Amino acid sequence: MPRGTRDGMAGGAAEQRRLAAVVEGWLGRPVLVVGDAMLDEWRFAESDRLCREAPAPVLTLRRRISAAGGAANTAVNVAALGGRAVLVAPVGADVAGDELHDCLDRAGVWDRTVAQPGRPTPVKRRMLAGNQILLREDSGDADDALDDDGVARLLTALDCATEELRAAGGEAPTLVVCDYGLGALSAAVRAWLVTHRERYATVALDAHDLADWRGLAPTVVTPSFAEATRLLARAAGTRPAPGAGLHLDHPDGDPADGPSELTVGVSPGGTLAHHAAHRPGPTNPTGEPTAGEGRVAMTGDGLTVTGTGVTVNATAGEGVDRAVLAESRLAELRAHTGADVVAVTLDTEGAVVGGADGEPRRSHSTPVPASHAVGAGDAYLAAMTLALAADAPLPTAAQLAQLAATITVSDTGTCVCRREDLLVALDAPVGRAGHRALVGTDELAAIVAEHRRAGRAIVFTNGCFDVLHRGHVRYLEQARALGDLLVVAVNSDGSVRRLKGPDRPVNPVEDRIALLAALVCVDHVVVFEEDSPAELIETVRPDVYVKGGDYPPEMVPEAPLVRRLGGQVRTLGYVPDRSTSAIIDRIRAHGQEPHEDTSLTPEPS
């Protein structure tokens, strides 16, 4: 192999190790997410005929999925990437709100949302046939603003969550603001965040309307191309004095339109070349069209924007490279937002990122169906924020953010990037070397939720495992073969004493879990204090619950609970004459046998 090729491969491997080290370094970092939380609902249907009343397809619903959306999905991504995520947001006292709470619990997000009776939880409902989104129904808008009591309770929750994170992590937490114009972040809430800015080490801002947030001085802002264009158009002719705040008046008829989504690809069935060849005319603009808004025109040189709306006219500035335009205006965007870093997302074209050094960084994405890219911007924001909070250099943060957004778009649904998937994409070890077998109950719930979202079957078993022997190993190997993830719950020392007597356990829990964690067939070990694993079963909701013994599953005490939760119960026989009690009895019997005094017997040569 030529030396240059070897050097290039070595350099690439070193770069991936460096990126992986950043991912490992942000593990457990405290992040407070505040803003507009919503529920994403996906309805998958089939259609093979048109209805008689109109030329419309008749849909038969086959499957329904709910997921956290908006600020809630950003918090879920922070947790999935390994951060310690807390969400503060108003949530309605309704069915959608209950589902959103469940989504947060499954993801391991600390749910500090504030109930708002009479104010519905924002929902985005998508109806699909095949892989094509046929329609989207949105509920929740800026008219659902919080009342004075709701604002007061939200501010209290913000203050308490900030202190809770500081106390838990021993450092100033990171703040992520997700303002999608749905009423969660009123002027009073924005003023509170600006006033208390010094309580947060790193601040990330994703706002539909950046003009509202100049006083926040965020570390990073992540506008879409259309959001950045809106800000520049409003600021035309206005230059902020050094150190002075900038307020841009909102023009009449400039409505909020909810969260933007980073589209990492093109629409179903299309390609980049196809879309370039069939560029829509003035009646079908690109960007983020919003009813009732004017258009922003780009000139042919790619450097000028005019107008007050957010919709980019596709025919104005024909052939203009949006990346070139974004790069040329990064300094202005930093000045108008007060941010250290500006990352302008460019849909199918990736992103352009700029910092204080004035050097633009370019990243690229992979074309995918639009239904695969919902929420990819949340993954981008979460990874960018965690990387900057971990003091990663800006080029590294930009690389990890784009990678996180890109690897989430493999299937239809709301995008979530898992830490393990990010490490796999970096060719980093995520097996035994990068795998923490011993986990707590809260962390286990998040881990199981991630695997379940990926369609993996969860197997659960429990026991004392006082003296690990061949029978245990075969039993655990058989249990692991029944699914994709094996969770072993181990009785604490106190629990073992209550079950087995005062002379047990022989080995303390630290030794018992260390041996179990060393087995390749065991994915995660969790300790429980109770005599029964019922609470853990409620948390894990296993697909398969396994017990050792030759009796039928109906005799397992936990069987009714497991079946009520939708799982099945299996019993596996032990290896004959291999049991902890029998081994302990033999050892004790051996210790009590008289031994010949061999102190004077010469040792064999």
List the catalytic residues.
378
Rounded (5°) CA angle 234-239-245: 90
Which residues fall within 8 angstroms of residue 545, CB to CB, at 6 or more apart? 459, 460, 461, 537, 556, 558, 559, 562, 567, 568, 569, 570
CA distance 551 to 183: 58
Which of 588, 592, 554 shows the shortest CA–CA distance to 571?
554
CA–CA distances in Å: residue 175 to residues 75, 84, 227, 381, 384: 11, 12, 21, 12, 12
CA distance 81 to 601: 64
- Tokens 């947001």 correspond to 89
The token duo for 200 is: 């947060």
| N-term to C-term CA, the chain | 55
The token duo for 12 is: 């690439």
CA–CA distances in Å: residue 30 to residues 69, 81, 172, 226: 20, 12, 8, 31
Q: Give the count of beta carbons closer than 10 Å to the beta carbon of residue 5.
A: 9
Rounded (5°) CA angle 138-144-146: 140
Q: What is the DSSP letter of 369?
A: -
> For residue 288, which phi and psi values (nearest 5 degrees)?
-125, 80
Name the amino acid, one letter, at 601: T
Which residues lie across from 286 on neighbouring strands? 312
Q: Are 49 and 397 in contact (CB under 8 A)?
A: no
Alpha helices in 196-292 (DSSP H): 225-234, 272-277
Q: Give the count of beta carbons closer than 10 Å to the beta carbon of residue 29.
A: 23
CA–CA distances in Å: residue 55 to residues 5, 51, 52: 60, 7, 7
CA–CA distances in Å: residue 46 to residues 63, 125, 128, 545, 562: 10, 16, 8, 34, 32
Secondary element (H or E) of residue 92: strand 90-92
Q: Tell how strand 84-88 and strand 110-111 pair up.
A: parallel
Q: Tell me whether the omega of the peptide bond preceding residue 251 falls within 30 degrees of 0, making it cis.
A: no
Q: Are 206 and 377 in contact (CB under 8 A)?
A: yes
Task: Please spell the DSSP secondary structure of 37-63, one letter per residue.
Answer: EEEEEEEEEE--SB-SSSS-B--EEEE
